[in-house]
Amino acid sequence: MNRQIVQLFALTLVLFGVLIAFTSRWTVFEAASLEDNTLNRRGLIEQQQVPRGLILARDGDTVLAQSDPRGRGKQRTYVRSYPEGETFGHPVGYSYINIGEAGIERSRNDALTGDLNEFGTIFRELQSKEREGDDVVTTLDPAAQRQAMELLAGKSGSIVAVEPSTGRVRVMASTPSYDPNLVQDQRVFEALVEDTEQTPLFNRAVQTNYQPGSTFKVVTAAAALDTGKVTPDSIVDGSSPQTISGLPLANSGGVSYGPITFTTALTNSVNTVFAKLGEQVGTQTLVEYMERFGFYKDPQLDYPEDSMRASGVRNADQRLVTSGFDVGRVAIGQGGAEGQVQVTPLQMAQVAGAVANGGKLIRPRLTDRIVGQDGRVEEQIDPATQSQVMKPETAAELTEMMTDVVNEGTGTAAALSDVQVAGKTGTAEVRNETLNQVWFIGFAPVDDPQYAIAVTLEDQPIGTSGGANAAPLAAQVLQTLLGGG
């Protein structure tokens, strides 16, 4: 009988091994998918019982999101409230048990809930510390953000301002917006979701497929200058119309400039010059420079990935394409069914920022630091270079040219009395040329750039322009950011 008993023990070993194997399956190998299961509400319930950290503005003082206790004792839960309401609606987002999370609330969820890795949990256990969320100090400037939202009130559009040397996003305004305090009401939330006309839940700063118009000429100019195709003083042919890809292309208002310097061509936003230049630079090089500027991938922002959209040339199916399009028209921010430049305001602010920062593109970010409840800085986010877009000399040349745009060209409305501003305007005809998308991108001060900005407004009537309608808004926000609004 002993042999059978030993065999029976071997069988027990196998069966118990199966038990351990299945336990590891649920605890380790399939844990992530179980945690993501929609039936699994544990994460949300646990989060409700832990006070989330504060979300603060740049000054570390202005509260953008806080947790308010409800009930007492073991039944105590916390509910989020947003003192600034609609003003910071898009960047901050919301966090409610019934509808989930959005914005910084989502991208910094782990820090806000004090979620640690396995070892961190054990460490906290050993110190017998209560689980608590950390505070997130954002890069957002409360005064400038409020002003930007006021300037956009009643319109659809976006204003984004970044610090070129650090990537800190100082303003992320998008209208129409929503009040995150109200979306915890399921009906309000659903109404917002269903509003396809205004799309208030849509963050226009990072999610749009706007046509950049002539602001894209900055990208073309950077590629052309940096590859030595042209210098600021090169004489170029500004006559109109010219044949681009077999079709005639005219300048704005049909103005024919004749032989002019390249600087003058940017100052007056001469389409024919930049379209020809685009053809000279070629598709491959232009795409390469676009990629260096950050096009063709999601913004490298600490913001939920599925709430961002990559800028780039997209075909009629909204797919990103890197060849086969009309490079001449793309070079002036246009295109056709086989490829049209589509951008987000953040991307265009980054284009201005790269020029301002000596050609070096810094990764954008909304979080400055994460601070524990004891006041200790848990994590300081340092500037990270995304790419060297162009040579510093090229950036300097382009800065000078963009300064001329503000001083004597299309962008004079962006000028400030005591600070030199550089920039570029854009006016894209949309909806079968019945409406305009107006743009201004730029930075200031020119000699020591502190802020880069992109301003855009949707669906403005014919007769509007980036210079007249977007540039003044940029001037006001820059003034506020630079102090003494």
Partner 1 sequence: MSARTRELFGLIPVSLLVCAGFAAVLVAQSQQASDLTATYGAVFLGLCVFGHLFIRARLPDADPYLYPLAALLAAFGLVMIYRIDVELAREQAQWFVIGLVLFCATIYLLPDHHVLERYRYTIAAVGIALLMLPRFPVIGEQVNGAFLAVKVGPIQFQPAEFAKLAIIVFLASYLRDTRDVLVRSRLKPLTPTAQALLYGIPALFFLLLVLALGLAPVAAVLLGVFTLSAVSLVRERPSLKHFGPLLLIWGLAMLMLIVIRDLGSSLMFFGAFLALVYVATARLSIVGVGATLFLGGAAYLGTTVSHVQSRFDTWLDPFDPELYEATGGSFQIAQSLFAQADGGLFGQGFGQALLELPGGGTILPAAHTDLIYAVITDELGLFGAAGLILVYLLFVARGFKTALVASDGFSKLLATGLTAVFALQVFVIVGGVTKVIPLTGVTLPFVSYGGSSILANMVLLALLLIVSDHARRDRDRAGPGGLV
- Residue ranges binding partner 1 (CB under 8 A): 1-6, 8-9, 12-13, 15-16, 18-20, 22-28, 30-31, 34-35, 37, 39-40, 42, 45-46, 48-49, 71, 74-77, 118, 121-122, 125, 128
The residue among 27 and 98 lying less far from partner 1, judged by its C-beta, is 27
The least distance separating partner 1 from the CB of residue 125, rounded to whole angstroms, comes to 4
Give the count of beta carbons closer than 10 Å to the beta carbon of residue 355.
34
The least distance separating partner 1 from the CB of residue 449, rounded to whole angstroms, comes to 47
Residues 6+ apart with CB under 8 A from 385: 360, 361, 362, 363
The least distance separating partner 1 from the CB of residue 54, rounded to whole angstroms, comes to 22
How far is the C-alpha of 388 from the C-alpha of 204, rounded, in Å? 27
Beta bridge partners of residue 355, listed in sequence order: none
Give the count of beta carbons closer than 10 Å to the beta carbon of residue 228.
8
The residue among 40 and 245 lying less far from partner 1, judged by its C-beta, is 40
Nearest by Cα to 132 from 334, 314, 370, 328: 370
The residue among 59 and 130 lying less far from partner 1, judged by its C-beta, is 130
How far is the C-alpha of 92 from the C-alpha of 103, rounded, in Å? 5
The least distance separating partner 1 from the CB of residue 165, rounded to whole angstroms, comes to 41
The residue among 40 and 186 lying less far from partner 1, judged by its C-beta, is 40
Task: Calculate helix-pair angle for 217-226, 283-293, nearest 10 degrees.
Answer: 110
The least distance separating partner 1 from the CB of residue 6, rounded to whole angstroms, comes to 7
Beta bridge partners of residue 249, listed in sequence order: 242
Which amino acid, one-letter code, is at 17?
A: G
The residue among 27 and 231 lying less far from partner 1, judged by its C-beta, is 27
Q: Is beta strand 135-138 parallel, antiparallel or unpaired with respect to 55-56?
A: parallel
Helix (H) or strand (E) holding 49: helix 42-49
The residue among 12 and 186 lying less far from partner 1, judged by its C-beta, is 12
The least distance separating partner 1 from the CB of residue 63, rounded to whole angstroms, comes to 24
Give the count of beta carbons closer than 10 Å to the beta carbon of residue 321.
18
The residue among 26 and 323 lying less far from partner 1, judged by its C-beta, is 26
The residue among 15 and 462 lying less far from partner 1, judged by its C-beta, is 15
The least distance separating partner 1 from the CB of residue 51, rounded to whole angstroms, comes to 13
Q: Is 138 helix (H, G, I), strand (E, B) or coil?
A: strand
The least distance separating partner 1 from the CB of residue 50, rounded to whole angstroms, comes to 11
The least distance separating partner 1 from the CB of residue 340, rounded to whole angstroms, comes to 42
Q: Is there a contact between 216 and 192 (Cβ–Cβ < 8 Å)?
A: no
Q: Is 77 helix (H, G, I), strand (E, B) or coil?
A: strand
The residue among 24 and 318 lying less far from partner 1, judged by its C-beta, is 24
Residues 6+ apart with CB under 8 A from 425: 214, 215, 269, 405, 409, 410, 411, 438, 439, 440, 465, 466, 467, 470, 471
Maximum C-alpha span of the chain: 108
